[in-house]
Amino acid sequence: MSVELGHFALVLALALALVQTFVPFVGARIGSLSLMRVGEPAAITGLALLAAAFAALMLAYVQSDFSVANVWENSHSAKPLLFKITGTWGNHEGSMLLWVLILSFFGALVAAFGRNLPPTLKANVLAVQGLIASAFLLFILLTSNPFARLQPAPIEGRDLNPILQDVGLAVHPPLLYLGYVGFSISFSFAAAALIDGRVDAAWARWVRPWTLAAWAFLTGGIAMGSYWAYYELGWGGFWFWDPVENASFMPWLAGTALLHSAIVMEKRSALKIWTVLLAILTFSLSLLGTFLVRSGVLTSVHAFATDPTRGVFILAILVFFIGGALALFAFRAAALAPGGLFHPISREGALVLNNLLLTTAAATVLVGTLYPLVLEAVTGEKISVGAPFFNLTFVPLFLPLLAAVPFGPVLSWKRGDLVGAAQRLHFAFAAAVVSAFLAFFLIDRGSALAALGIGLGLWLIFGALTDLALKAGIGKVEPAAAFSRFRGLPLSVFGTALAHAGLGLTTLGVVCVTTLETERILTMQPGQTAKIGGYALRFEGLQPFTGPNYTEDRARFILTGADSVRLGELISSKRLYTARGMPTTEAGIRTMGLSQLYVSIGDATNDGGLVVHMWWKPLVTLIWIGALVMMGGGGISLFDRRLRVGAPARRKAGPAAAGEEAA
C-alpha cells in the first residue's frame, strides 16, 4: 500500500505544483495578496508530498518489493542494505524523483524563509519554481514513472550495475543535484525580475546566498564524482572530459561567474542585466546537463531516435525554459535600470574579467561537448572530441584566469590601482617564483612546465593568504590590533580567501599528477618485487574471497619503504558480481601523505604471473582536498551574517525590523 500511497502523493504533488504555478502568478498580476500567498503553503506541502513519495520508493527498495518494476530492474534481495538505499537514486526514474524532490526543497526554503521578500517578487519566484516542478513531475509521471507495477511480481531482481554499488554513489548524485537544482532559485529570481520588469535591491542580496549554496554543493558533487571515477573505474584518471562530466562542469563554470557578478550587483548595483542573463544561462546549462545525461542521447544518437519519448520530452522542457527565459530577457531586459559605473581597473573590472574568462571557458566546453552530437545528427559523421581539444582551448583560457585571481580581492571598488595591487602582492609573487625555481631544480624529472604549474598553484595560495594579511593590517598596525582586526574580518573575506586557496590546491594537485606521475605495467610472479616512486611492492599471490553479492580474486601486495621497512599491504581485486555476471576491477590505493600509490590488476598470464599496473601519484589528493576547501569557503561565506537569508527581519532591534513594525 505504501507504494501506491507514494504514487498518489507524487500525483498530488503535481496538482499542487500546478496551483503553485498559476495562482501566485495571477495574484501578482491582479494585485491580490492572498492569491500571491498561496504559493507558500503549496510549496511546503508539495515538498512534504514529494518526500513521502521518495520515502515510499526507498521503502520498496529496502524491502526488495519487486512488484515495483523500478525496484526489480535495479535491485537484488542479496544486495547490502546501504546499496539498497542508494539504489533508490541509482537509476533514471529514481534520480529524476530525487531531482524534483530537491527542486521542491529549494522552493519550500524560499517559501518558508523569504518572509521579508517583496510579495510580488516572492510570488513570481514561487510561480516559476512551480512551473519547473510541474514540467518535471509531468515528465516523471508520463515517461519515467518509478511507481510502475509488475504483476505477478518476479522472484528476484536484476541487481544494480556493480560499478554503481559504491559509497561514492551514495553521496555523489544528491550533492550534484543540490548544486544543479540549486541554481533553479537564481533562475526563478531572474525570471521573476524580468516578469516584474525591475530588479529590487533585495534581489542580489537573495540571489547571492542561493548561488553560493548551489555552487558549494556542485563543487562537492563534481569532486566526489571525480574521486569515484578515480578509484572505481581502475584507470587511475581523475578527469576524462567525458560529456557526462562536462555536463556538470559547465554549470559550475557559469555558476562561478554568477557568484562573482552577483557580488558586483549587491555591492555596487552594477552589472544587473548581465547577472540576470548569467542566472538564466547557469540554470539552462544545468537543464542541458540533465538532458544530456537523462535522454540517452550520449549513449547513442540512434537509441535516442528510436525511443524518443523521454529524450524529446526533456528536450521540449529544455527548449521551453531556456527559450522562454531568453525571450523574456530579450523583451524585458531594457526595462531594468542600469547600475553604477566603474573604472576598468577596479574590483568590478577584475570581476568582469573573471566573468569573461569563465563564460568563454564554459562556452568552449559547451562546443566540445555538443559539436560531435550536432555533427552526427546533421551529417552522420562521427568524431570524438577528447582531452587534446580541451587542452588546447579550455586550458589557455583558464590559465590567465588563475594568474589574475589574487589581484581581484586586493583591488578597491570603483577605481583601483594595478601598480599598488601588484606591490601589495609582491611577497606572494616572490614566494611563488622561488618555489617554482626550487621545484625545477630539486624535483627529480621536474620540467619547466611542472615548475610553472607549481608556481601558479602556490601563487594562488600565497595570494589568498596575502589578502587576509592585508585586510587584517598585519605589518601595518600593532600585532595585537592586527589580531583583533583579523578576528573581526567578515566571514565572507575568509570564504573568498579559502575558496581561492582551494583553487590553488586543486591546481597544484592537477599539475603534480599530470607532470610528475610515474607508472609501471609489468607481469609479476608471486614473490616478485617491483619498485615504484621510492617504494617496493611484493606480490604475495591471488586468493579467492566471497562477498555478499560477488566473488573475487584478491591480489595481495606487501608494501615496503626505501629502507625495506614494511609499511603495510595493498589489495587489488578482480570482482565478479554474480547476479549480472559482470566483472569489475577494484584498485588497491594507499595514501602516503598527500600522495597515493595506486595498483590495479589485469589478467593472469600463461606462466602463472599476473599483469599489474601501478602508479605513483604525487600530491594527487590535493585535487579533491582543494575542492573541499573551496566548498568550505563557500560554506563559511554563506554563514556571513550579511548574507544570511532573511537577516534584516531576524535582528529584532535592527532597522529592517523597525521598518516592518512601521508598516
Partner 1 sequence: MTRKQKRLAVIGSGMGFLALAAALTFYALGQQTSYFYMPVDLLAQPAGAGDRIRLGGLVEKGSIVRGEGTRVRFVVTDYEHTVPVVYDRILPDLFREEQGVVVEGALGEDGVLLADTVLAKHDEAYMPKEVADSLKERGVWQEE
Partner 2 sequence: MLFWVLAALLTLIASLAVMLPFLRRRGDQRAGAEHDLAVYRDQLAELEQEVGRGLISKADAAEARAEIGRRILRLSEAGKPDGGAGGERSARTIAAAAVLAVPLVSWGLYAFLGSPGTPALPLQARLTIDPSQASIDELVARAEAHLADNPQDARGWEVLAPIYARLGRYGDAAVAYRKTIALTGPSAAREAALGEALVGEAGGIVTAEAEAAFERALEIDAANPRARFFIAMARAQEGNTAEARTIWEKMAAGLPQDSPWKEVAGQAIAGLTGSEGEAPGPSEADITAAEEMTPAARQEMIEGMVAGLDARLREDPADIEAWRRLLRSYVVLGRKDEAGEALERALAAFGADSEEAETLTEYAETLGVPQGE
Residues contacting partner 1: total by CB under 8 A = 50
Find the part of the chain contacting partner 2 (CB under 8 A) among 384-392, 406-414, 530-538, 625-633: 406-414
Positions 319 through 338 that interact with partner 2 (CB under 8 A): none
Closest C-alpha among 262, 438, 284, 408 to residue 345: 408
The answer to whether 66 contacts partner 2 (rule: CB under 8 A) is yes
Whether the Cβ atoms of residue 653 and residue 227 lie closer than 8 Å to each other: no
What radius of gyration do the chain's Cα atoms show?
27
The number of residues in the chain equals 663
Under rule CB under 8 A, residue 396 binds partner 1: yes
The one of partner 2, partner 1, none whose footprint includes residue 585, by CB under 5 to 8 A per kind, is: partner 1
Which residues ranging from 560 to 589 are in contact with partner 1 (CB under 8 A)? 574, 580-585
Q: Is 497 in the site for partner 1 (CB under 8 A)?
A: no
Euclidean distance between CA atoms 548 and 77, whole angstroms: 10
C-alpha cell at 192: 521573476
Under the binding rule (CB under 8 A), the answer on residue 397 touching partner 1 is yes
List 385, 436, 499, 508, residue binding partner 1 (CB under 8 A): 385
Q: Stretches 30-38, 176-184, 359-367, 606-614: which one binds partner 2 (CB under 8 A)? A: 30-38
Distance CA 165, CA 87 (A): 8
Region binding partner 1 by CB under 8 A among candidate stretches 319-327, 391-399, 443-451, 483-491:
391-399
- Count CB-CB contacts under 10 A for residue 85: 16
**Cell representation of residue 566:** 614494511
* Residue selected from 161, 269, 518, 523 as contacting partner 2 according to rule CB under 8 A: 269
* Residue 451: other Cβ atoms inside 10 A: 22
Region of 617 (left: φ > 0; alpha: ψ -120 to 50; beta: rest) is beta
Query: Cβ contacts of residue 514 below 8 Å, gap of 6+?
Result: none
Say whether residue 345 binds partner 2 (CB under 8 A).
no
Residue 26 binding partner per list partner 2, partner 1, none, with a CB distance cut-off of 5 to 8 Å that depends on partner kind: partner 2
Asked if 578 touches partner 2 (CB under 8 A), the answer is: no
**Residues 522 and 539 sit within 8 Å (Cβ to Cβ):** no
H/E element, 604: strand 595-604
Q: Describe the crossing of helices 201-232 and 243-268 by its angle, rounded to 10 degrees.
A: 150
Among 168-176, 444-452, 487-495, 607-615, which window interacts with partner 1 (CB under 8 A)? 607-615
- Segment interacting with partner 1 (CB under 8 A) among 8-16, 60-68, 97-105, 389-397: 389-397
Which of 80, 81, 82, 153 binds partner 2 (CB under 8 A)? It is: 153
Binder among 80, 300, 437, 651 for partner 1 (CB under 8 A): 300
Exposure of 49 by Cβ count < 10 A (0-12 exposed, 13-18 middle, 19+ buried)? buried
Q: Is there a cis peptide before residue 406, judged by omega within 30 degrees of 0? A: no
Decide if residue 659 touches partner 2 (CB under 8 A): yes
Minimum CB distance to partner 2 smaller for 198 or for 520 = 198
Give the position of cell 548581465: 274
Nearer Cβ to partner 1, position 384 or 564? 384
For partner 2, which stretch binds (CB under 8 A), given 257-265, 452-460, 565-573, 651-659? 651-659
Least CB distance to partner 1 at residue 544 (A): 18
- Residue 418 backbone class (left: φ over 0; alpha: ψ -120 to 50; beta: rest): alpha
Determine if 542 is a binding residue for partner 1 (CB under 8 A). Answer: no
Q: Which does 635 bind (CB under 5 to 8 A by kind): partner 1, partner 2, none?
A: none
